[in-house]
Amino acid sequence: MNIHSRLPTIAFCFLCVIGAIGQAADREDIKQINVVSDEWINYTNKDGSGAYWEVVKAVFEPLNITVNTRVMPWARAERTVKNQQADALLGSYYQADQLNSFIFPKWHIGIEDPIIALYKVNNGVHLNANNLQSLQNKRIIWVRGYEFDKTLFSGITINKHVITKPKQALIMLNLNRADVLIDYEQEIRLAAKEANINLNTTYKMHVIKKGNKLYLAFSNTPRGRYLSKIFDQQMESLASTGAIKAIYAKWGFPDKFTD
């Protein structure tokens, strides 16, 4: 055989060996993973406790990969992973238009709470089931980073205002500076407790969207791709044994995960 005809095969084999060595080196070198998210009480607590954090730790820590957690406002957390300053964003939707920035594993990590519209009973809001057009031109408020204008209210003219924390939004609603607050039920109830506002008498809650699957979205890097593969492999095993559902049940969220 002519030596020149063998060169492509030799080169290919060489690249395969180099690739395998590189992957082995990646496995050896990854001793920790940096995960960021917003603060959701009992899901992603600032101290690193919570159901979502515990699931991530159950995935990586048996492999001797330390999970470093950090809480920050959602928009900043998303930007941090996009800029490759952290390995993964916890709690993201699958976003087909964000595949240049994120790697989404096959396995989701949980199911979010339903999205709620909260408004005062007598403030002129009449929300029809599954029809957000009735909120046309209303003053709508939500937490910065959720971008409900691009999802829930696409094609609907609203007067939006974004704030940093649900408590601020609830206070504005209570003072009639907004017509409707859009958030998740648990966040609304925690904010009401913090602000000492009774929701049972003058407010109405309306489910406007059932919860989506939530993902651990990895930074689009070779390291992120490898971590995503680890995540899927481990989740397959943990889901089959019921370990994931047990974690959510322990935190009081028995319905937060479906295989």
13-51: pLDDT as tens digits = 444 444 443 444 355 589 999 999 999 989 999 999 999
In this structure, the answer to whether residues 82 and 143 fall within a common structural domain is no
In this structure, the answer to whether residues 38 and 99 fall within a common structural domain is yes
Report yes or no: 139 and 179 within 8 Å, Cβ to Cβ: yes
In this structure, the answer to whether residues 130 and 59 fall within a common structural domain is no
Report yes or no: 214 and 244 within 8 Å, Cβ to Cβ: no
pTM, to two decimals: 0.72
Angle at which helices 243-250 and 222-241 cross, to 10°: 80
What residues are paired with 4 via a beta bridge?
none
Q: Percent of the chain, pLDDT > 90? A: 58
59-111: pLDDT as tens digits = 999 999 999 999 999 989 999 999 999 999 999 989 888 899 999 999 999 99
Give the tokens for residue 36.
Answer: 């960021």
Beta strands in the chain (DSSP E): 32-37, 66-71, 88-92, 102-103, 110-111, 115-120, 139-143, 159-163, 180-184, 203-209, 213-219
Bridge pairing between strands 66-71 and 180-184: unpaired
Report the number of distinct structural domains present in the chain: 2
The Cα–Cα gap between 206 and 216 comes to 28
For residue 106, give the CATH number of its domain. Answer: 3.40.190.10
Helix (H) or strand (E) holding 146: none
Confidence of residue 2 (pLDDT cuts 50, 70, 90): very low
Among 191, 197, 184, residue whose Cα is nearest residue 145: 184
The Cα–Cα gap between 237 and 243 comes to 9
In this structure, the answer to whether residues 67 and 126 fall within a common structural domain is no
The parent domain of residue 123 ranges over 115-209
Long-range contacts of 72-77 (CB under 8 A, 24+ apart): 72/36, 72/37, 72/38, 73/38, 73/144, 73/145, 73/164, 74/37, 74/38, 74/143, 74/144, 74/145, 74/146, 75/144, 75/145, 76/145, 77/36, 77/37, 77/38, 77/145
Confidence of residue 12 (pLDDT cuts 50, 70, 90): very low
In this structure, the answer to whether residues 199 and 138 fall within a common structural domain is yes
User: Across the chain, what does the average pLDDT equal?
Assistant: 87
